[in-house]
Amino acid sequence: MNAAAPPRRTHVLIAAERLPTRVGLRLALDAEARCTEVSDADSAVNAAVRDHPDVCLLGLDASAQRLRAVNEIASRVPSTVLILLADHVDEEEFLAAVRAGASGYLTHNLDPARLPHVVRGALRGEPAVPRQLVSRLLEELRTRERRRSVVVEGKGRIAFTTREWEAVELLLRGATTSEIALELGVAQVTVRRHLGSVEGKLGVATRAEVVELLTKEPEPPAPA
């Protein structure tokens, strides 16, 4: 009789420039997770696309690098749970990360003994955020659906993903592919993919038609 296969270990990708940070996170998780480490945003994106980790801990030093990595990974590997680790709580970064698809936003002074519980909770769909940000998270979730859907005459209500809608908003302001990519912190090919999806949902073939459809004034009601 064959022995049962050992349970699969959670794969956690750790991204941080500082070696002590990477080592500390790995040691906190080593008992129950298989950890791999990278030291910059590009390597984090490449490793996530290649390996599809269960969780990615983004402890990069610069906010811009953390957000660029979360944007790219959330777009290209949506199955990966993303948790940002910052030196201090930044509400604007937190909201930008949540809008991009992050499931958690914590500070580096988190008790290492709590990290395995945080990771397990995030994999179950529980948000990992500091207590002072919970009300902002709830507000963000309440308004997200209203922000990213439109009613189009003859088509009814059409829902977009957060990233699709952010790209559309910039397109409606006249931004080019490169300008949208720079603003959202993603690659130009990702912008093209988002806008191509929008065109498909709207049933049009070009960006010009997207703009025309979404900026068209509604017909006034016929007189009684």
Question: What are 151-184's pLDDT values in tens digits?
Answer: 777 777 788 887 888 889 899 989 999 999 888 8
Q: Is 12 strand, coil or helix?
A: strand
Q: Is 102 strand, coil or helix?
A: coil
pLDDT at 30 exceeding the cut of 50: yes
Mean pLDDT, the chain, rounded, equals 84
Distances (CA, A) of 180 to 20, 44, 118, 150, 204: 35, 22, 33, 20, 20
Other C-beta atoms within 10 Å of 84: how many? 30
Q: What is the mean pLDDT of residues 15-29?
A: 95
CA 202, 203, 208, 210: dihedral to nearest 10 degrees? 0
Q: What is the pLDDT of residue 34?
A: 95
Cα distance between residue 18 and residue 26, in whole Å:
13
pLDDT at 39 exceeding the cut of 90: yes
Could you tell me where in the chain the CATH 1.10.10.10 domains are found? 148-215
pLDDT at 11 exceeding the cut of 80: yes
pLDDT at 108 exceeding the cut of 50: yes
Class at the top of the CATH hierarchy for domain 10-141: alpha beta
Cβ(33)–Cβ(116) below 8 Å: yes
Share of the chain above pLDDT 90, in %: 46
Could you tell me where in the chain the CATH 3.40.50.2300 domains are found? 10-141
Q: What is the mean pLDDT of residues 200-205?
A: 90
Q: What is the pLDDT of residue 224?
A: 45
Q: What is the pLDDT of residue 3?
A: 56
Q: So what's the architecture of 148-215 in CATH?
A: Orthogonal Bundle (1.10)
Q: Which residues, 6+ apart, have CB-to-CB distance to 124 below 8 Å?
A: none
